[in-house]
Amino acid sequence: MCLNGWGGKLHEQLLPYIETTAPDVLCLQEVVHSPASDKDWLTYRDGDHILPQRANFFRDVSRALPDHTAVFCPAAQGVLWDDDQSIPSQWGLATFIHKSVPIIGQVQGFVHKCYSPVGYGDHPRSRSAHGVRIYDYEADRPVSITHMHGLRDLNGKMDTPERNEQVQRLLSMSRQVSEPEDLVVICGDFNVEPDSETLRILGDAGLNELVTGRGFTSTRNSQYKKPGRFADYMLVNEPETVKGFDVVHDPEVSDHCPLILNV
């Protein structure tokens, strides 16, 4: 499963869904980690952009998946707010792998900028990625899975030199954690349109995009009020191995839809 968790805004819907589905691997973006606070909620403030944030979203999902190994990959540490008190808070993505699944390789790094230790930084902000190589005993082969949260450009989801460099870094990380015999999966909230240079580059690298390729017309739901219905993608190098793929619109657990791959 791949999902942008929206900072845990819909945690009352999200956590039961995660507990029930309990995917072998969960690639989760927009993860908040505030170990200095025991609050349930804090507030993100960026000018007139104000959002509630689940203060310890990483902890919450870890508790919902007690049989999983949890890896948090921060992109930056800034502040969230408890009324007028500033609270240091890390922001990034996380990967959860069921403890029955052997992790035989990992890579962590940045697809845009580098770690921002003091403040979230200017837009487009730092973006991290994480890759794992696991062994699938049912298929008797390794699988490599790499996910990212693509940079957010305030001007929109158009192609930019930064996005082209970003996808090259993502591909490099995937290749670093993969071996030639692997089933390769690349996924995440890419923040691009289906006709983007990002997806063309991944396609030229031998990856098959499943969202539009399987006829899905959106990865957003009714929680998302802006135009543009695509953000999230999942690609594989061997589409013939796919037993099932779905973009889940119900239940709504974020303003993004979960992407679920069965191989």
Return the pLDDT at 47: 83
Which residues, 6+ apart, have CB-to-CB distance to 263 below 8 Å? Answer: 136, 139, 143, 183, 236, 241, 242, 243
pLDDT for 162: 98
Residue type (1 letter), 185: V
Question: 57 with 14: CB under 8 angstroms?
Answer: no
> Are β-strands 85-98 and 127-136 bridged in parallel, bridged antiparallel, or unpaired?
unpaired
pLDDT at 260: 98
| Residues 205 and 178: beta-carbon distance below 8 Å | no
Give the span between the Cα atoms of 165 and 161, in whole angstroms: 6
Tokens describing residue 81: 């707010």
Supply the pTM of this predicted model.
0.97
CATH among 3.40.50.10470, 3.40.50.10490, 3.60.10.10, 3.40.50.300 for 2-262: 3.60.10.10
Residue 61's pLDDT is 98
Average pLDDT, 10 consecutive residues per value, the chain (263 residues): 97 97 98 96 90 95 98 98 96 98 98 97 96 97 98 95 98 98 98 98 98 97 94 98 98 98 97
At residue 110, the pLDDT reads 98
> Within 10 Å of residue 158's Cβ, how many Cβ atoms?
11
State the distance between the two ends of the chain, measured CA to CA, in whole angstroms: 12
Distance (Å, whole) CA 26 – CA 204: 26
In sequence order, what are the beta bridge partners of 33?
90
The b/e string for 105-134 (b: 16+ C-beta within 10 A; e otherwise) is: bebbbbbbbebbeeebbeebbbbbbbbbbb
